[in-house]
Structure 1
Amino acid sequence: MMNSRLLACCLLVLAVVPAYGQRWQIGTDQRHIVWRPGADLPHEDCVEMTGETTSLVLRWGVDERGAFCEERSLVFPLLRTVPNDTHASLVFRMATDIPSLLSVDGFALQSETVEQVRFDGVMEVRSAWRTGRSKLGLVSDYASEPAVTMTRTIFPSRTLPLTCERYVLRNGSPNRTRTIYIPEYMQTFETDPAKGVEGSYVLRTDISGSGRFEVAPGDSVVFDAVFQAYRKGENPRRPDVAAELAARRAFIREDIGHSLVLETPDSVLNTAFHFSKLRAAESIIRTRGGYMHAPGGEVFYAAVWTNDQCEYVIPFFPFLGYATANKSAINTFRHYARFMNAGYRPLPSSIIAEGTDIWNGAGDRGDAAMCANGAARYALARADRTEAEELWPFVEWCLEYCRRNRTADGVVASDSDELEGRFPVGRTNLATSSLYYDALLSAAALGREIGVKPSQTNAYLRQARELAAAIERFFGRDVAGYHAYRYSEINDKLRAWICMPLVVGLSERREGTVAALLGPELRTEDGLLTEQGDSVFWDRSTLHALRGIFRAGYADKAGDFLHRFTARRLTGDHVPYFIEAWPEGSGSMRQLSAESGLYCRIFTEGLFGIRPTGFRSFEMTPSLPAAWDRAALRHIRAFGSDFALEIERVASDRLRVTLRRQDKNPQIHILKSGMTLRISLK
Structure 2
Amino acid sequence: MKKYFHLFSLLFIFSFYSSIAQDLVSPNFWKLSDEKSIVWDLTNEDRLPHKDNIEMSGRKVSAILYYEIDEEKNLSITKDVIFPQLRTYNKSNEPDWKKYRAYFRKKVGEDASPTITYNEKLIIPSKIDSIKISGMLTFYCTPVNGLQVTKTLYPSMENRYLVEKWDIKNIDAAEKEVFFTNYSLQQKELGYKGIYRHEVYSDATDKRTIAPNESYSFPVYYGATLKEEKASDFDFNSALMQRKQFLKELQSNLVLNTPDAVINTLFYFSKIRASESIFDSSMGLVHSPGGGNYYTGIWANDQVEYSGPFFPYLGYENASTAAFNTYKKFLENIPTEDTHIPYAFEVDGIFPMKHLDRGDAAMIAYGTSLYLLSIGDMEQSKKLWPLIEWSIEYCHKMRNAAGAVQSESDEMEGRIETGTANLSTSTLYYGGLKYASRLAKELKLAKAAALYATRANEMEAVIENYFGSTMEGLETYKYFEENTLLRHWICLPLTMGIDKRKEGTLAALFEKLWTKNGILVELNPEVPVEDAIFWDRATLYALRGAMRVGEVDLAYNKLKSYSQKRLLGDHVPYAIEAYPENNMKHLSAESALYCRIITEGLLGIEPMGFNKTQLSPSLPDGWDFLSLKNVFIAGAPMDISINRRKGKLLVRVENKGQVLLNKTIKIGASTLVNHGL
TM-score (norm 1): 0.91
Is 1:403 equivalent to 2:396 in the alignment? Answer: yes
- Shift of residue 651, structure 1, vs aligned partner: 3.0
- Shift of residue 645, structure 1, vs aligned partner: 1.2
Instruction: Name whichever of 152-161 and 618-627 sits farther off.
Output: 618-627
Q: Which amino acid aligns with 1:42?
A: P
Residue of structure 1 equivalent to 2:558: 561
Among 272, 276, 293, which residue is 2:270 paired with? 276
- Given that 1:86 and 1:301 are in contact with CA atoms closer than 8 Å, whether structure 2 keeps it comes out as no
Residue of structure 2 equivalent to 1:22: 28
- 1:17-57 superposed Cα distances (whole Å, 9 cap, x missing partner): x94211111122x0110111122322211000000000010
Looking at structure 1, the residues matched to 110 and 130 of structure 2 have their Cα atoms a distance apart, in angstroms, of: 21
Change beyond 3 A, Cα 1:344–1:649: farther
Q: Which amino acid aligns with 2:517?
A: D
- Given that 1:320 and 1:638 are in contact with CA atoms closer than 8 Å, whether structure 2 keeps it comes out as no
Among 482, 486, 495, which residue is 2:487 paired with? 495
Residue of structure 2 equivalent to 1:10: none
Residue of structure 2 equivalent to 1:584: 581
Instruction: Name whichever of 600-609 and 615-624 sits farther off.
Output: 615-624
Among 429, 454, 460, which residue is 1:462 paired with? 454
Among 33, 37, 40, which residue is 1:35 paired with? 40
Is 1:45 equivalent to 2:39 in the alignment? Answer: no
Q: What is the 5 A alignment of 1:250-649?
A: 250-254=245-249, 256-361=250-355, 363-452=356-445, 454-519=446-511, 521-533=512-524, 534=527, 535-585=532-582, 588-649=583-644
Structure 2 stretches of 5 or more lacking a match? 1-23, 91-97
Q: Which amino acid aligns with 1:541?
A: A
Looking at structure 2, the residues matched to 537 and 422 of structure 1 have their Cα atoms a distance apart, in angstroms, of: 12
Looking at structure 1, the residues matched to 224 and 656 of structure 2 have their Cα atoms a distance apart, in angstroms, of: 46
Residue of structure 2 equivalent to 1:245: 240
Looking at structure 1, the residues matched to 228 and 439 of structure 2 have their Cα atoms a distance apart, in angstroms, of: 51
Looking at structure 1, the residues matched to 659 and 333 of structure 2 have their Cα atoms a distance apart, in angstroms, of: 47
- Given that 1:550 and 1:607 are in contact with CA atoms closer than 8 Å, whether structure 2 keeps it comes out as yes
Looking at structure 2, the residues matched to 72 and 341 of structure 1 have their Cα atoms a distance apart, in angstroms, of: 41
- Shift of residue 234, structure 1, vs aligned partner: 5.1
Q: Percent identity?
A: 35
Residue of structure 1 equivalent to 2:10: none
Change beyond 3 A, Cα 1:216–1:250: same
Is 1:88 equivalent to 2:102 in the alignment? Answer: yes
Is 1:150 equivalent to 2:149 in the alignment? Answer: yes
Among 39, 62, 65, which residue is 2:72 paired with? 65
SS of the equivalent of 2:309 reads helix
Looking at structure 1, the residues matched to 412 and 279 of structure 2 have their Cα atoms a distance apart, in angstroms, of: 25
Q: Which amino acid aligns with 2:534?
A: F
SS of the equivalent of 1:614 reads coil
- Given that 1:284 and 1:328 are in contact with CA atoms closer than 8 Å, whether structure 2 keeps it comes out as yes
Looking at structure 1, the residues matched to 195 and 293 of structure 2 have their Cα atoms a distance apart, in angstroms, of: 20
- 1:170-189 superposed Cα distances (whole Å, 9 cap, x missing partner): 112223x3221112332112
SS of the equivalent of 1:265 reads coil
Residue of structure 1 equivalent to 2:83: 76
- Given that 1:283 and 1:593 are in contact with CA atoms closer than 8 Å, whether structure 2 keeps it comes out as yes
After superposing on structure 2, the runs of 4+ consecutive aligned residues of structure 1 that deviate more than 4 Å are none
Looking at structure 2, the residues matched to 352 and 51 of structure 1 have their Cα atoms a distance apart, in angstroms, of: 18
Looking at structure 1, the residues matched to 401 and 499 of structure 2 have their Cα atoms a distance apart, in angstroms, of: 24
Residue of structure 1 equivalent to 2:181: 183
Residue of structure 2 equivalent to 1:6: none
SS of the equivalent of 2:408 reads coil
Looking at structure 2, the residues matched to 182 and 100 of structure 1 have their Cα atoms a distance apart, in angstroms, of: 7
- Shift of residue 292, structure 1, vs aligned partner: 1.2
Equivalent residue pairs, number: 638
- Shift of residue 99, structure 1, vs aligned partner: 5.4
SS of the equivalent of 2:453 reads helix
Looking at structure 1, the residues matched to 229 and 616 of structure 2 have their Cα atoms a distance apart, in angstroms, of: 56
- Shift of residue 245, structure 1, vs aligned partner: 0.5
Change beyond 3 A, Cα 1:168–1:397: same
Q: Which amino acid aligns with 1:264?
A: T
Looking at structure 2, the residues matched to 111 and 558 of structure 1 have their Cα atoms a distance apart, in angstroms, of: 45
- Given that 1:114 and 1:128 are in contact with CA atoms closer than 8 Å, whether structure 2 keeps it comes out as yes
Looking at structure 2, the residues matched to 198 and 243 of structure 1 have their Cα atoms a distance apart, in angstroms, of: 27
- Given that 1:494 and 1:531 are in contact with CA atoms closer than 8 Å, whether structure 2 keeps it comes out as yes
Q: Which amino acid aligns with 2:224?
A: A
Looking at structure 1, the residues matched to 207 and 138 of structure 2 have their Cα atoms a distance apart, in angstroms, of: 25
- Shift of residue 618, structure 1, vs aligned partner: 1.2
Structure 1 stretches of 5 or more lacking a match? 1-17, 131-145
Looking at structure 2, the residues matched to 623 and 495 of structure 1 have their Cα atoms a distance apart, in angstroms, of: 27
- Shift of residue 593, structure 1, vs aligned partner: 0.0
- 1:68-90 superposed Cα distances (whole Å, 9 cap, x missing partner): 21000000001002358431211
- Shift of residue 443, structure 1, vs aligned partner: 0.6
Is 1:209 equivalent to 2:204 in the alignment? Answer: yes
- Shift of residue 217, structure 1, vs aligned partner: 2.3
Over the residues paired in the alignment, what is the CA RMSD in angstroms?
A: 1.5
- 1:100-145 superposed Cα distances (whole Å, 9 cap, x missing partner): 6221222111474312211111111111243xxxxxxxxxxxxxxx
Looking at structure 1, the residues matched to 537 and 232 of structure 2 have their Cα atoms a distance apart, in angstroms, of: 38
Looking at structure 2, the residues matched to 321 and 219 of structure 1 have their Cα atoms a distance apart, in angstroms, of: 39
Is 1:55 equivalent to 2:78 in the alignment? Answer: no
TM-score (norm 2): 0.92
- Shift of residue 215, structure 1, vs aligned partner: 1.9
- Given that 1:376 and 1:442 are in contact with CA atoms closer than 8 Å, whether structure 2 keeps it comes out as yes
- Shift of residue 493, structure 1, vs aligned partner: 0.7
Looking at structure 1, the residues matched to 623 and 213 of structure 2 have their Cα atoms a distance apart, in angstroms, of: 47
- 1:566-617 superposed Cα distances (whole Å, 9 cap, x missing partner): 11000001100000000001xx211000000000000100000111111121
